[in-house]
Amino acid sequence: MSLKGKTLFITGASRGIGYAIGMKAARDGANIVIAAKSETENPKIPGTIHSAAKDMIDAGGQALAVACDIRDEDQVRVAFEKAVEKFGGIDILINNASAINLKGTLATDMKRFDLMHQVNTRGTFLCSKYAVPHLKKAANPHILTLSPPLNMKPHWFGPWLPYTMAKYGMSMCTMGLAAEFRADGIGVNSLWPETTIATAAVQNLLGGDEMVKSSRTTDIVADAAYEILTRDSKQCTGNFFLDVEVLRSAGVTDFKPYAFEPGHKLQRDLFLDDWFQGIRPEIAVVPPPAPVATPVAAVEADAPVSATPAITPVAVVKADAPAQPTPAITPVAVVKADAPATPATGTKPVAAVKPTAQAARAKTPDVADGNWD
C-alpha cells in the first residue's frame, strides 16, 4: 500500500516533524495540506507554508498552503473547506502542531498555560472534529497524533505540570477518538519517538547544540508515520506507537543512519522512563538511587543505558506477550499494532540531514515541538 493520491491534512507542516512527514508522503505522490501559521520567511526561523508546499511539489506530490492558527475555529473550518475543495476530500489527519513550555506551576503564567492547552489539546480535538466527517467517506482513513503514551508516573507531572497536562490531552484524544469511531473504520493512533528529535524545540528548550547532537533526525518519525498510515485502518487503531518499534516490525534493524551526529550518545525522549525494559533486553536498566525525578536520560543506540537518576523503571506490555511488571510498580502499556506490517517501500532509513534550517533557530515565545509557528 502507498499514499499515492491520498490527501493528508498536516498541522504545523512548514518545518520539523510535520514537514518531514509531508515530504515522505509527497514522494509517494500524495496531496499535502500544509496548515500552519508561517506565511513569510523569518531568517531566525526558516520555513513557511509556501516554501514547504514548493518542496513537496518538487518531491512529486501536490500541495496546498493554508495559513491556519489551529486555536481559531473559523480558521480551521476554512482550512478544511479549502482542502476538500482542492483535493475532493481528506484521507489522513496528522495532529502535529504542539506548543511546549517546560516550567512548573509557579513559573508558568496563564498566557503560556492557555497557549499550550489551546494548541495541544484543543487544537487536536478541533482538527479531529472537522476531519472526521470527511474521514468517514475515505478509504483507509487515519488520524495520527504526535503525542506520548499515557505514563502517569508523578515525576512527569511534578517538573512541568502544565505541559504534561496539555500533551497528555492530545493522547487522551487518541484514546477517546479511537473508541468513538472504531465502528467507522477510522484508525486513530499516537506516535512518539524513542529519542529526542533534532528540531527547534530541542535546540532552543532542551539543551542547545549538544542536545541536537544527541538526537535523531526527523526522518525516523516520518518513516514510522508512513508505516502506520499504510496499514489497514480497521485493524490498526487505539495504539500508542514508538518509532523504533514500528520500524522494527517493518524489518528495519539498523537505526544508526538516523542519528544526527553518528556515534554520539542519544537522549531518551520525555515521558518514556525505561519503557524498553523487556522489549530491548540488550539495554541494561539500572534502578535509580535518588528520589528526585530527572526527566530525561542519555542512551546510546544499541548500547547500555547509563543510570537514570531518580526515574523508576516502568514495565511495558506488548500486545501479544505477557507483561513483565517491575515489582510493586504498575505497568504502563505501550501497544504495538494488532498485526505486524510487511516492510513497505521507502521505509529504509534515509541519510541523516543536518537540520540547520530546522534546529538552528532563535528562541521565540511560541516555540513548540519543532512545529508551532
Give me the residues paired with residue 64 across strands: 33
Using an 8 Å Cβ cutoff, are 204 and 363 in contact? yes
> What distances in angstroms separate CA 329 from CA 148, 270, 314, 324, one per listed residue?
19, 19, 7, 10
Question: Please, which residues have CB within 8 angstroms of residue 215's CB and are 6 or more apart in sequence?
Answer: 195, 196, 197, 198, 202, 260, 266, 267
Please indicate whether residue 163 is annotated as part of the active site.
yes
Q: For residue 283, which phi and psi values (nearest 5 degrees)? A: -100, 120
Catalytic residue among 130, 163, 226, 258: 163
**Nearest residue to 138 via CA among 186, 179, 95:** 186
DSSP labels for 324-340?
A: -PPTT---------SSP
> What distances in angstroms separate CA 330 from CA 291, 296, 312, 313, one per listed residue?
18, 20, 11, 10
* Residues annotated catalytic, as ranges: 163
